[in-house]
Amino acid sequence: MTATRSGRYAKSIRPPKPVEGDRLPGVNARHGTTSGFSRHQEMGEEPCESCRAAKAYYDWEWLQAPDKVRRNRLFAKAQARATTELRRAHPEEYAEAYQRHRAALLAEAMAEDAAEDEDA
């Protein structure tokens, strides 16, 4: 397999599709997955061959998406990271806002269901 100097595969070279393996001990992830790759890193380990293969495949798939899709994914990632940061900095405010939005959305969904039932 031809990796670039940064360790990534070139856009045109399709890495082999990974095969999921056994569970990593003590965590909810399997070898041969991107979750497994992340867990290895979180535990300060060098990811195993099958987890590196899964990450390479994921990265390759990611590169296949059109630029607009890739940009939107980056924005979604930025949004998720910002949310995590704010949630950690203000856990009580986050919990309150989450419960409030959840209750409002549930009420909306129930109102829509009731309206559909009336139409039927």
**57: which residues sit within 8 A by CB, 6+ positions away?**
15, 16, 17, 18
Closest distance of CB 52 from Zn ion, Å: 8
Angle subtended at Cα 28 by Cα 24 and Cα 96, rounded to the nearest 5 degrees: 150
Q: Is 18 near Zn ion (CB under 5 A)?
A: no
The span of 8-16, 43-51, 67-75, 94-102 binding Zn ion (CB under 5 A) equals 43-51
Across the strands, what pairs with 23?
A: 30
The span of 51-59, 85-93, 96-104, 109-117 binding Zn ion (CB under 5 A) equals 51-59
CA 55 to chain CA mean position, Å: 12
Q: Is 56 near Zn ion (CB under 5 A)?
A: no
Q: What is the contact surface with Zn ion in residues (CB under 5 A)?
A: 31, 36, 48, 51
